[in-house]
Structure 1
Amino acid sequence: MLSRRQTLALALANGLALTGPPARAAGQAAAPTVKTAVSFPVPPGACDCHVHVIPDPAKFPFWEGRAYTPPVDPPESLLALQHALKLDRVVIVTPSVYGTDNAATLDGLRLLGPERARGVAVIGPRTGPAELDALAQAGIRGIRVNLEQAGVFDPAASAKALDSAVQQIGQRPWHLQVYSRLSVIGPLKQQLSALPVPVVFDHFAGAQAALGPDQPGFNDVLDLVRSGKAWVKLSGAYRASDKAPDYPDVTPLARALVAANPDRLVWGSDWPHPDSVPRPDRKPTDLAPAQDVDDGRLLDLLAVWVPERAIRDRILVENPKRLYDF
Structure 2
Amino acid sequence: MADTDNEPPLVDTHFHIYTTDLPLAPNAWHRPPEDAGVDRLIGLLDEHGIALGVVAAASLHGEYNDHVRDALRRYRRLRATAIVSPSISIYELERMRDDGFVGIRLMWRTLDQAPDITSPEYRRLLRRVADLGWHVHLIERADRLPVMMEEIAASGARMVIDHMGMPDSARGVDDPGFRLVLDALERGNAWVKLSAGYRFRPPSLAIDFSRDLLRLTGGERLVWASDWPFAAFEGRVTYGETVAALSEWVPDPAMRRRIGGRNALELYFM
TM-score under structure 1 normalisation?
A: 0.74
Distance 1:99 1:217, change over 3 A: closer
Provide Cα deviations, 1:51-74, integer angstroms capped at 9, x if missing partner: 1111362xx433455333212111
Kindly state the Cα deviation for residue 224 of structure 1 after the two structures are TM-superposed.
1.2
In the TM superposition, 1:222-261 aligns within 5 A as 222-239=182-199, 241-243=200-202, 247-261=203-217
- One-letter code of the match for 1:42? E
- One-letter code of the match for 1:255? R
Distance 1:170 1:310, change over 3 A: closer
Provide Cα deviations, 1:10-65, integer angstroms capped at 9, x if missing partner: xxxxxxxxxxxxxxxxxxxxxxxxxxxxx95225x7111001111362xx433455
Distance 2:110 2:128 in 1: 20
Distance 1:85 1:152 in 2: 40
Aligned length: 264
Q: Answer whether contact 1:53 1:92 (CA < 8 A) is retained.
A: yes
1:219 aligns with 2:142: no
Rg larger for: 1
Distance 1:296 1:242 in 2: 20
Kindly state the Cα deviation for residue 98 of structure 1 after the two structures are TM-superposed.
1.6
Q: Answer whether contact 2:81 2:105 (CA < 8 A) is retained.
A: yes
Aligned to 2:29: 67
Aligned pair partner of 1:93 in 56, 72, 79: 56
Moved more, 316-325 or 158-167: 158-167
Aligned pair partner of 1:300 in 244, 248, 260: 244
- One-letter code of the match for 1:69? R
1:53 aligns with 2:12: no
Distance 1:209 1:67 in 2: 20
Q: What 5-or-longer segments of structure 2 have no aligned partner?
A: none
- One-letter code of the match for 1:136? R
Distance 1:190 1:125, change over 3 A: closer
- One-letter code of the match for 1:290? E
Aligned pair partner of 1:318 in 262, 265, 269: 262
- One-letter code of the match for 1:53? I
Aligned pair partner of 1:81 in 19, 44, 56: 44
Root mean square deviation of aligned Cα: 2.4
Distance 1:87 1:170, change over 3 A: closer
- One-letter code of the match for 1:267? W
Q: Answer whether contact 2:87 2:125 (CA < 8 A) is retained.
A: no
Provide Cα deviations, 1:132-180, integer angstroms capped at 9, x if missing partner: 11110110000001222432358xx344486353034251010000111
Aligned to 1:109: 72
Distance 1:274 1:215 in 2: 23
- One-letter code of the match for 1:184? R
Aligned to 1:271: 228
Provide Cα deviations, 1:81-138, integer angstroms capped at 9, x if missing partner: 1022211110011201221111111122223x22x21111111033222211111011
Distance 2:94 2:73 in 1: 16
- One-letter code of the match for 2:112? G
Q: Answer whether contact 1:55 1:75 (CA < 8 A) is retained.
A: no
TM-score under structure 2 normalisation?
A: 0.88
Distance 1:121 1:134 in 2: 13
Aligned to 1:207: 167
- One-letter code of the match for 1:48? D
Distance 1:92 1:190, change over 3 A: closer
Q: What 5-or-longer segments of structure 1 have no aligned partner?
A: 1-38, 276-288
In the TM superposition, 1:103-142 aligns within 5 A as 103-111=66-74, 113-114=75-76, 116-142=77-103
